[in-house]
């Protein structure tokens, strides 16, 4: 008798967007050009990098109906979450950051800026090539604990990409596992690359206090907490898959 696959063709396709987990390229002479300053790293890079987020969602990424798109460079090199003509461009925090606090990035010539925009375009294309009709795009992030707020932030847009039942379902999963949950707080919205089809997009932001020591950048050592987290991710995967 044939063995039935756990995830059939009816399982909903899931794409994980992981844009901010890398620190590569910060000091690269062509695409980085940030000052080699320990203060810059401590105050900005360490705080705003989504440390270990690829690891956090690894239990979901291993499933056969899930694909991951992990941006290989730091957000300080190119921020693939920003929009073209993003309002934050005025503050030096658009797709290509020019400032971080009191630190200024080295000058980028036209060719170098073009290369960075190419990285942005490639990331959007990679996401789009993995999406399809009725797929779910999960925008995966973490946030600093000094922002306060809940353990988990679920973000969504108020447009065609919002599925209220899925968002509510994800909220209930995390709460049932003992986590506090906020909707669109402290961050809101979710990435939605332009596509000729409909799909759902939601963001899951994890408070760093849940899984790491922000002072040492070390992962949480409690086996019980990891069992709790992995069980939650498994349930979220089942919910999003429609299984």
User: pLDDT tens, 182-236?
Assistant: 999 999 999 999 999 999 999 999 999 999 999 999 999 999 999 999 999 999 9
DSSP 43: I
Separation of alpha carbons 12 and 132, rounded Å = 10
pTM above 0.85, yes or no: yes
**Run of H or E residues at 112:** helix 110-130
Distance, in Å, from the CA atom of 85 to the CA atom of 31, rounded to the nearest integer, reads 20
**Within a domain: 6:** no
Cα separation, 157 vs 104, whole angstroms: 32
- Residues 17-70: tens digit of each pLDDT: 999 999 999 999 999 999 999 999 999 999 999 999 999 999 999 999 999 999
Residue 2 lies in a domain: no
CATH code, domain with 199:
3.40.630.40
Q: Domain of 235?
A: 14-241
Q: For residue 217, what are its two tokens?
A: 């950048």
Q: Measure the CA–CA gap between 24 and 13, rounded to whole angstroms.
A: 29
Is residue 4 a part of any domain in this protein? Answer: no
Helices 164-176 and 223-241 pack at an angle, to 10 degrees, of 160
Q: How many domains does the chain have?
A: 1
């Amino acid at each position: 008798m044939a063995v039935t696959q756990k995830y059939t063709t009816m399982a909903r396709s899931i794409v994980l967007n992981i844009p901010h987990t890398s620190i590569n390229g910060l000091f690269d002479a062509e695409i980085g050009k940030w000052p080699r300053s320990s203060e810059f790293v401590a105050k900005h890079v360490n705080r705003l990098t989504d440390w270990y987020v690829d690891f956090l969602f690894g239990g979901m990424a291993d499933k056969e109906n899930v694909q991951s798109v992990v941006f290989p460079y730091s957000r300080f090199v190119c921020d693939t979450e920003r929009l073209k003509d993003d309002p934050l461009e005025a503050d030096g925090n658009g797709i290509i950051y020019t400032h971080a606090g009191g630190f200024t990035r080295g000058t980028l010539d036209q060719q170098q800026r073009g290369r960075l925009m190419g990285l942005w375009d490639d990331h959007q294309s990679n996401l789009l090539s993995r999406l399809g009709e009725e797929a779910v795009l999960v925008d995966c992030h973490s946030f600093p604990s000094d922002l306060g707020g809940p353990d988990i932030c679920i973000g969504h847009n108020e447009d065609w990409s919002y599925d209220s039942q899925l968002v509510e379902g994800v909220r209930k999963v995390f709460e049932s596992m003992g986590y506090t949950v906020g909707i669109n707080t402290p961050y809101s919205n979710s990435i939605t690359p332009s596509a000729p089809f409909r799909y759902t997009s939601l963001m899951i932001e994890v408070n760093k206090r849940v899984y790491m020591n922000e002072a040492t950048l070390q992962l949480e050592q409690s086996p019980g907490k990891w069992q709790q987290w992995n069980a939650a991710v498994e349930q979220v995967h089942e919910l999003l898959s429609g299984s």
